[in-house]
Amino acid sequence: MKIGYARVSTGLQNLDLQEDSLNKFSCEKIFTDHISGAKSNRPGLEMAIDFVRSGDTLVVWRLDRLGRNMEDLISIVNRLNERGVSFHSLQENITMDKSSSTGQLMFHLFAAFAEFERNLILERSAAGRAAARARGRFGGRPEKLKTQDLELLKTLVDSGTPIKTIAERWNVSRTTIYRYLDKMEEKDGKTNAH
């Protein structure tokens, strides 16, 4: 059985073109969503995946109607393949079916592209962090206390000032003060070891 799935991003768009194409391709049932592909919760798609049975084919008008990105697309197609369901995209004329060698090849190609995309994202992120570090910028929040504040912090603690009072002075939590004290002890320990 051929089951269709159609999606448009907003309620202002209509599904006519997609539904007409799916009907022409002899889809017996069509599930739809009026929701952005960026949303992970697409009720129509989930109903279509729940509805299809082994031997069925899920048909979409175009690949981008099914997945938000390559990784999402591969995940959905993998779910279908695990259940013995084929997949067909009308515009790209792509059929993925584990029972055929061509279908298996297509699935492996899509999986390779998804991994390639993930690796590119990781490489770009690492390069961005390295460039920021080279410019003296590090990730995370800016430090609450400056170097001169740390000297005063140590003096206040050594003089017996309560941690609560010290924390209120800089408008931070007591945990933050303890964290700074731990860092200072760690730094002093490394200095004394050399």
Annotated catalytic residues are 9
At 70 the three-state DSSP class reads: helix
At 98 the three-state DSSP class reads: coil
DSSP conformation class of 64: G
Integer Cα distance of 110 and 116 in angstroms = 10
Integer Cα distance of 181 and 174 in angstroms = 11
Q: How far is CA 117 from the centre of its chain?
A: 12
**Contact between residue 180 and residue 154 where contact means Cβ atoms under 8 Å apart:** no
